[in-house]
Structure formats: C-alpha cells, structure tokens
Amino acid sequence: MIARTAFEQILKEYDEKQLEAARELRERREQIEREVPRLKEIEDEIAGLSVSEAISRISGKALPGSYKDQLASLRAEKDKVLSEAGFTEDDLNAHYECEKCRDTGYVGNELCTCFKERVTNILYDQSNIKEILKEENFGTYSFKYYPEGEALDAAKNALQKAESFIRDFSRSEDNLFITGAAGVGKTFLTNCIAKELLDQGYFVVYLSAIRLFDILSDVTFGSFRTGSEGASSEFVKKHIYDCDLLIIDDLGTEMVNSFTATQLFNCVNERILGKKHTIISTNLSLKQLQDNYSERIFSRIANKYTFIKLLGNDIRMTKKLEEN
C-alpha cells in the first residue's frame, strides 16, 4: 500500500542519514589521521591531561600551575597541524543534513521541523499536491463559476469563513466541515487554505478519506514493518493526530463500516481534545453523516465545526466545456 511504503520510507531515510553521517566522519577521520599523524598523539595528550585534571579534582590535590598552559598549547598545536594540512576542527565532527536534530528527526521529544517538512512533502508529493497548489490558491480563486443568487452568496460566504479560519488559526480551535455536491469547489477551497497555512510554516497533512483509513488500518492491524509497529503507530499518531491541520478530503468515498466509523470518531475526537484543527470535505449531507457513521461523530462535528456549504454547477464540467 502506498501509505505504508511512504511511512516506512521516511523512517528508513532518517536511519540512513545517520549512518551516512557516521560513515562519512569515519572516512574523513581516517584520511586526516593518515595525513596528520601528529593529531592522534596530541589528542591522546589532551585526554591524558583531562584525566589528571579529573583525578586532582576528586583527590583535592592541586595540579601544577603549568596545566592550563600545556592544554592551551596542545590545542593551539592541534589547530595548527590541522590547518597546515588543509583541515579544520569542524572536519573532526559528524556533518548532519540537519544540525538541529542531528538527523534523528527529533529535538528532545518534539518532532524536528526538517522531519515535518519531509512528511509534508512525502504526503503531498504522492497526491501531486505541490503542482496543484501552484494552480489552486486564493490568487486564482474565482466567483465566476458560481451562478448569481444562492450559489454565489454561498461561495462568498465560504470564502469569508475560510479567510477567518486562516486569520484566527493560531488562537482559535475552529474546524471546518465543507459540504456540497461533486465539482462545486470543495477541494479547491481546501487547497487554498492548505497553501496559505503551509506558506505560514504550519504542519499540514492532507489525506483523502480512503488514504486516511488505509493508514489507520495498517497501523491498527500491525501490517507495518515487522518489529517497528510501536514506532510506526507512534509516528502515525504524531502526524495524523498531532499535525497543526489535518485535511480529510472526500469523506464518504471510502467503504464505511464499524472500523472506519470508530477510527473517524477517534481521529476527530483526539484532535478536538488536542486543540488541533481539522477540515473535512464531503459530498454527504449532515443527515447522511449521522446515518452512515455514528451519532457521536455527528454530535462532535455539529458542536465543534464551522459549516460551509457550497452550491452550484459542476465547475470541472464547466471548465472542460470552456476548453473545448
């Protein structure tokens, strides 16, 4: 499954990055030691001095006054022999792609920004979203496809709600539930919001409902890489439950059963509790949501989501007709 491969791929990438940094350092170190044989001796002498320093600290016996001078002169010599051979002190350290997390993906218990970006890219790459967002954003949003009257009013109202959702994003706990028939611009509007928040540096995860349940079922039924289920579910939890904005596109297109109903509730509920924003777009009416999923999902969404309803003709069809 695509989802599983993507998650495994990213975990593996980080493992490989760390191994690569370590391998590079080892090779560089060997080369430096070959070209600067004196380096090892200096380092041993510095280490020896540090040991004497530690012993004297513990035993309370004072070190000879020359200790600091010796250390300083060894360090100066180290710099000198390195630079004479064309190296710097920094060449003795591992070089990471991301110095913040040293390619582990974590800074303390928090996910590093590099990791979030990578996940965003990987999720978005697969649905080709980066290309789409170049076309579908507030800059290209147009009312011209909405017929005068009810549909146009609804579109204007939707735009207003989307804009205030973005404006208040950092301080509100708002979520959006976008309904409407196929082709009335739900995904377009969602893309506009996603682009804006991605540009502001938020961690946005965009999944079709089908993909979302695919990933959640992989995690639940443990079909992730053997031996790493714990890490993988932790990983998925981090992204699906904890990202700044989760977009669930086209809810209702997946196979609805008790598993998906439970998973959807957990996901919606966890995110509300964690004060994280979610956007759900769907062709379903509220009545269908209530009938197809469960009363408790319906009530969470009814209480915690702002509703946006789009009306009008199928814009994709209209565009196609214009092109021909």
Instruction: Point out which residues bind Zn ion (CB under 5 A).
Output: 98, 100-101, 112, 114
Residue 101: CB minimum distance to Zn ion, A: 3
End-to-end CA distance of the chain: 37
Cβ proximity to Zn ion, 26 vs 100, nearer residue: 100
Give yes or no for a contact between 36 and 87, defined as CB atoms under 8 angstroms apart.
yes
Copy the structure tokens of residue 280: 């759900």
273-289 burial, b for 16+ CB within 10 Å, e for fewer?
A: eeebbbbbbbbbeeeeb
Q: Give least dist CB 108 to Zn ion, A.
A: 12
Closer of 32 and 111 to Zn ion (Cβ):
111
Question: Measured from the CB atom, is 32 or 101 closer to Zn ion?
Answer: 101
At residue 126's C-alpha, the angle toward residues 123 and 127, to 5°, is 95
CA–CA separation, 217 and 214 (whole Å): 5
Specify whether the CB–CB gap between 279 and 175 falls below 8 A. yes
> Using CA atoms, how far apart are residues 190 and 164, in angstroms rounded to an integer?
14
Instruction: Give 239's DSSP letter.
Output: I
Give the contacts of 287 (CB within 8 A, at least 6 positions apart): none
Distance in Å, CB of 232 to Zn ion, minimum: 19
Of the two residues 112 and 123, which places its CB atom closer to Zn ion in the complex? Answer: 112
Look up residue 92 and give its DSSP letter: G
Which residue's CB is nearer to Zn ion, number 112 or number 264?
112
